[in-house]
Amino acid sequence: MVQSILVAMDDSPLGEEALRYALETFPDADIVVVHAAYLDLDMLPTDTPEVHEVGVDELDGVGDETAQAVFETARRVADGREIAVSFLTGEPQERLVEYINAGEFDGVVMGTHGREGVARLLIGSVAEAVVRKTSLPTTLVK
């Protein structure tokens, strides 16, 4: 039985689709939305600047515009369902993989642009890093 799903989310439509997929596919699981980025989270009250975890009802007042967009999208898509939202600051691929490997999740859901060839090599792929560097089942939503 799936008890906990991590949804890696950015402020793009892909992140929103990944969260929708997780909410619909795993109706009884705990959903943890994680956004990993180089964010300016100085305005968030936290004792641990590398990770800031908040509940959906604490979404107001976030200083970073990207973080605010992720919060608002998560709130809207969750539509009253209780979810947790975490922010990781630093290099997204590294921080996300560390967080996944340190947690007790049953799976990961994330959006992917589906880039191939040179575009993927130049831009990199957070999804590819997660698939290669974690042992969890990972669903990629395109």
pLDDT by 10s per residue, the chain, length 142: 899 999 999 888 888 999 999 999 999 999 999 988 765 555 444 444 444 455 444 544 444 677 778 888 888 999 989 898 888 877 888 889 999 999 999 999 998 866 555 444 434 578 888 888 999 999 989 8
Its pTM stands at 0.79
The CATH number for 64's domain is 3.40.50.620
Give the range of the structural domain holding residue 101, as residue numbers without chain letter.
4-141
CB 75 within 8 A of CB 59: yes
The pairs formed by 41-44 with CB atoms below 8 angstroms and a separation of 24 or more are: 41/67, 41/87, 41/89, 44/87
Number of domains in the chain: 1
Pick from 21, 20, 110, 126: which is nearest to 73 by CA? 20
H helix runs in the chain, sequence order: 13-25, 65-78, 92-102, 117-123, 126-133
